Amino acid sequence: MTDRHRPTLATVAARAAVAPSTASLAFSGSSRVAPATRERVLAAAAELGYAGPDPVARSLRSRRSGVVGAMIGERLAYAFTDPVAVQLLDGVTEVLSPLGVGLLLLPGDADRRGPTVGQLAHVPLDAAVYATCGLEDDPALAHLQRRGVPVVAVDGPRVDDVVFVGIPDRRGTADLARHLAGLGHRRVAVVAMPLRLDGTRGPVTADRRARAHYRDVRERLLGVEEVLGPVPAVEGASNSVEEGERAGRALLDVPAPDRPTAVVAQSDLMAAGVLRAAEGLGLRVPEDVSVAGFDGVELPWLAPVRLTTVVQPTTEKGRVVGRAVAELVEGRRPDDVVLDVHLSVGTTTGPAPG
């Protein structure tokens, strides 16, 4: 690799017998440069194998790096088993890619909640998206704000100077709870996504709830209770089928009189786990127990079962985030956005037994 003599704009300019400033104009496509001159510059560049202005140098002047950070709360392998996370980022890149802006993955590892300040400090960022990552008490957030990097938080808490994009989580599960109440369900339980990423699983205590990192998890729980009053909730250690199954078994593997007649899982992934738990315990859905989820993701392998769930427009949410980022990069301050959700009744909920 010939690190030796990589040409710069100055080299190209010299070869085309123009000033560097003119060469720059030629590349940026300014109309202030004569077509013939532009040709000459481009030809010189081609001869020298010049690939265009150095992005780093350009970034320094223009105060734009073309890089947006995606803060991920776990390692990729775990975060991306969640179709919601993937769809979200897909929407973001759909908007940002055509603008020549890339999404930089900043995952945490098994222990941490997210990337550390040390990792962030060396990386050029035009903006950051808290994608699957709580941000309360996050030193990384403070660091970004000091740097003046604008932040968008998806489903995150509302924080000053952070753009919020989310959904009415509470109304979503409240609608779901009303649906269940209308079917006669009185003993309803919740399978919750992690309230914090510390590997905890099991019944959710009041204390635990107070120390939750994730706004959406809290809200989805409150939505159910708004309609049905306090309900037992079991937390999974991660948002996954396995943890959903585990929590589901904990709730359902009890004598029939104590058993919930309906289980509301906070994600479709966990709902799929609850379905497996029910199957494993020989319970029919929805005759013995109703199961509902949240998100509205495609889980083709469940077919022909159709999960009752609260559908959120995940990809569109990603696009909205992408547009918000684009505006922030332009220097504007976009409004917070709350997208809509709707209940989709499938085959997994029915009248309460008995």
Partner DNA sequence: CCACTCTATCGAATCGATTCGACACCGCGT
Partner DNA sequence: ACGCGGTGTCGAATCGATTCGATAGAGTGG
Q: What is the contact surface with a second copy in residues (CB under 8 A)?
A: 1-3, 6, 49-52, 55-60, 65-67, 69-70, 75-77, 80-81, 83, 86-87, 89-90, 93-94, 97-98, 100-107, 109, 115, 118-119, 121-125, 143, 146-148, 150, 161, 241-242, 272, 300-301, 315, 331, 333
* 271 and 309 Cβ atoms separated by less than 8 Å: yes
Query: How far is the C-alpha of 102 from the C-alpha of 66, rounded, in Å?
Result: 6
Q: Which two tokens stand for residue 296?
A: 């509205």
Q: Which amino acid does the sequence have at 268?
A: D
19-to-9, 41, 289 alpha-carbon distances in Å: 10, 10, 77
Q: Residues 11 to 40: which contact DNA by CB under 7 A? A: 17-22, 24-25, 27-28, 31-34, 36-37
DSSP letter string over 178-215? HHHHHTT--SEEEEEPPSSSS---EEPPHHHHHT-S-H
Considering the rule CB under 7 A, would residue 53 count as an interface residue with DNA?
A: yes
User: Residue 22 binds what, of DNA, a second copy, none (CB under 5 to 8 Å, by partner type)?
Assistant: DNA
The encoded tokens of residue 108 equal 């945490």
Binding flag, residue 142, DNA (CB under 7 A): no
As measured in angstroms, the least distance from the Cβ of 129 to DNA is: 23
Three-state DSSP class for 135?
coil
Residue 261 binds what, of a second copy, DNA, none (CB under 5 to 8 Å, by partner type)?
Answer: none
b/e for 287-303, b at 16 or more Cβ within 10 A? ebbbbbbbbbbebeebe
Place of tokens 């904990």: 250
Q: Which is nearer to a second copy, 255 or 282 (CB)?
A: 282
Nearer to DNA, 42 or 337 (CB): 42
Regarding 79 and contact with DNA (CB under 7 A), the answer is: no
Which of DNA, a second copy, none does residue 84 bind (CB under 5 to 8 Å by kind)? none
State in angstroms the smallest separation of the CB of 243 from a second copy: 12
For helices 268-280 and 241-252, the axis angle rounded to 10 degrees is 50
* Residues found near DNA in the complex (CB under 7 A): 6, 8-10, 17-22, 24-25, 27-28, 31-34, 36-37, 53-54, 57-58, 60-63
